[in-house]
Amino acid sequence: MVDISMPQFFTLQDGRQIAYQSVGDPKGRPIFFFHGSPGSRLEGFSAEAAALKNRWHIIALDRPGMGQSDFKPGYTLLHYTKDICELADGLGFKTFGVMGHSGGGATVLSCAYALPERLDFALDLGGWAPVIVPELRSQMTSLDRFFVERCIPLPKPHQPKRIPLLFKFTFTLVGLVAKVFPPAIFIHFLNQSQYFCEADRAVLSAPEAANFLVQTVRESFHQGSEGPAYDALLRYQDWGFDIGEITFPIQLFHGTDDISAPYSFAEYKHSQLPNSQLHIYPQEGHFFLWSHWADIMAIAST
């Protein structure tokens, strides 16, 4: 179990607070870690041992309304990059690396688009792709596809986004199951939703791994379901920028058997990003990074 009792807080100029946790070497290379959706800053602890060995100072932060960071109604992916810049300035980081898993991959790409002059490197770890692209929707899980095609209107970029009631109810249910039931029940609940491949089920069959995942998701719903639901909604809809315009180098890492964020997402991003490298993990799934932090950090450090 990781320690959630002592997050650090940074107050933004508009008065909101960002909750974050430092992982690894506090005197090391600064890197922001962006969690999944739903998820929380606690995911950063999966990299703790490798971060200490490689002298990385990982700042794992909760996105607005998730974990213990204050919510901001109507924000977009590009708005959030301003929060990251403000936090970096407050922590004294002139430049920094960014990395994100799953839904956090969209934040990596938004930073690469909006903040290239501030970045040392950008790692997309099993991240999502812009699923407004029709060819990508067909690769999603049936539940994700249902929400994208039937429940969620796709507004013009920067238009305020409302959370459909059915979508919010689903996230309320996920949060309730994560908070109330034992980890084994929560993992069974997710398996029934067909989000995990065989490799992921093997990873989560270990009680320690299952407990870690459940703890990170529980913390995501610390303030309720609005923040996690809105965060996911942003990733389903227009991101407000074209990834084809990102010239900053992007390192893509992806498991070929991933169901939550299908491998086709990585192939699409690699084909669209002008300056990207794709690192493939055969027969691995969504949680490949938990056992591959050493080589991920080695690649980032070259």
Q: pTM for this one?
A: 0.93
More confident residue, 150 or 25: 25
Share of the chain above pLDDT 70, in %: 94
Two tokens, residue 49 = 């041992």
Query: Is the per-residue pLDDT at 5 higher than 80?
Result: no
Query: Is the per-residue pLDDT at 3 higher than 70?
Result: no
Query: Is the per-residue pLDDT at 1 higher than 60?
Result: no
pLDDT of amino acid 156: 53
pLDDT of amino acid 160: 47
Query: Is the per-residue pLDDT at 283 higher than 60?
Result: yes
pLDDT digits (tens, 9 = 90+) for 208-256: 999 999 999 999 999 999 999 999 989 988 899 999 999 999 999 999 9
pLDDT digits (tens, 9 = 90+) for 245-264: 999 999 999 999 999 999 99
pLDDT digits (tens, 9 = 90+) for 99-136: 999 999 999 999 999 999 999 999 999 999 999 888 89
pLDDT of amino acid 111: 98
pLDDT of amino acid 105: 98
Distance of CA 71 to the CA centre of its chain: 17
CA separation for the pair 34, 124 (Å, rounded): 10
Strand 29-34 to strand 8-11: parallel, antiparallel, or no bridges (unpaired)? unpaired
pLDDT digits (tens, 9 = 90+) for 156-192: 544 545 677 777 778 888 888 888 888 888 888 777 7
Average pLDDT across the chain, whole number: 91
CATH fold for the domain made of 8-300? Rossmann fold (3.40.50)
Distance of CA 283 to the CA centre of its chain: 21
**Model confidence at 150, in pLDDT bands (50, 70, 90)?**
low
Arithmetic mean of pLDDT, 63-67: 97
